Amino acid sequence: MQKLKEAILAKGKAVNQDVLLVDSFLNHQVDVALMRDVGDAFAAYFAGRGITRVVTIESSGIAPASFTALAMGLPLVVMKKQTSRIMKGDLLQTTVRSFTKGTQYELTAKRDFLPEGERLLLIDDFLASGEAAFGVLNLAKQAGCEVAGVGIVIEKAFQPGHDRLCEAGVDVCSLARVKAMSEKGIEFID
Ligand code: G4P
């Protein structure tokens, strides 16, 4: 997606060869007009695939996932990284490890919001190793749902997430695929 690549080049900063800072339009301050276009692009790519529900993981996936759900006219479910005392009912959980952040969390969703037989579209901001996406695949399986597609705003193509998901038979659409990056610049795969 040209507009997204232009935003990454103009406003993104490669902290090092592995981490891209995009907090001026995606992770902290949010360019909602760009996110609306991102949502439209995912809606166009995943149209006609029988998707019934959009899912994401809090927090940075929420903006692109909201616009995708709006464009597709579908409900959105935000999976949680932590539970609270008011989160009651039949909960589905799986542990997700983040290699980038060196953390782990219990990915959690209420079974009520993932009814059996739904076809899910996962939208997320970044794809690195694919751990978060595999966590969602795991919860979907527990719920009796299928992940019919994964839409990623920025994929770090030099990390294994994309290949791992493709090998698992998942249809992945990444709007910007970063081939390599350094302080000198950011290169994309066309
Ligand atoms: P994976 O799920 O593909 O394996 O990714 P990984 O564990 O390595 O990274 C998980 C977290 O790190 C996610 O944020 C993801 O957005 C973020 N992340 C990964 N690579 C980058 C990067 O190059 N730049 C930035 N800015 N973030 C990156 P999260 O913990 O879910 O946080 P958030 O959604 O609350 O922002």
Instruction: Encode the chain (190 residues) as per-residue pLDDT tens digits.
Output: 999 999 999 999 999 999 999 999 999 999 999 999 999 999 999 999 999 999 999 999 999 999 999 999 999 999 999 877 777 789 999 999 988 788 999 999 999 999 999 999 999 999 999 999 999 999 999 999 999 999 999 999 999 999 999 999 999 999 999 999 988 899 999 8
Is the Cβ atom of 20 under 6 angstroms away from ligand 1? yes
Q: For the whole model, what pTM was predicted?
A: 0.96
| Angle of the 32-45 helix axis to the 2-11 helix axis, nearest 10 | 140
What does the angle CA 61 – CA 142 – CA 108 come to, to the nearest 5 degrees?
A: 40
pLDDT recorded at residue 38: 98
Structure tokens at 49: 């695939």
Residue 132 falls in which region: left (phi positive, over 0), alpha (psi -120 to 50) or beta: alpha
pLDDT recorded at residue 143: 98
Is the Cβ atom of 155 under 6 angstroms away from ligand 1? no
pLDDT recorded at residue 82: 85
Is the Cβ atom of 157 under 6 angstroms away from ligand 1? no
pLDDT recorded at residue 176: 98
Mutation test residue for ligand 1: of 80, 99, 101, the one with most atoms within 8 Å of CB: 101
pLDDT recorded at residue 83: 78
Residue 63 falls in which region: left (phi positive, over 0), alpha (psi -120 to 50) or beta: alpha
Residues sharing a CB contact under 8 Å with residue 166, sequence separation 6 or more, in sequence order: 172
Is the Cβ atom of 130 under 6 angstroms away from ligand 1? yes
